[in-house]
Amino acid sequence: MRDDYLKQALLVLPNVNILVNLVSWRVKQLRKKNDSTIDSLERLELEDIVLREIIEGKLTYELYDEKQEEVDVLEDVLSLLASNSS
């Protein structure tokens, strides 16, 4: 893994735990022959390709918010109950 890519990726995504998980998840995808979102003339390791995707803003993430999910489900249930009682 290239140190310069790692440093640049940490500027984009400063949480090391999330960065490691995101890189790991994406490398697994690339190993299954999913296409990369970047073009490169040099031969890069899969981890470096993922870091470049993060640096270039082509790979993002969203944290799961359990409480918001519960609110959304309750709103759906209430909406369903309201429409059934009409």
Would you kindly state where each structural domain of the chain is located, as residue ranges? 3-61
Nearest-angstrom CA–CA distance, 75 and 57: 33
pLDDT tens digit string along 54-63?
999 998 888 8
pLDDT tens digit string along 9-56?
999 999 999 999 999 999 999 889 877 777 766 788 999 999 999 999
Q: What are phi and psi of 75, to 5 degrees?
A: -65, -40
Tell whether pTM > 0.85.
no
DSSP 41: S
Express the helix, strand and coil content of the chain in percent, nearest 5 each.
65, 0, 35
Locate 41 and state its tokens. 């003339």
Highest averaged pLDDT of the listed ranges 49-53, 66-70, 71-75: 49-53
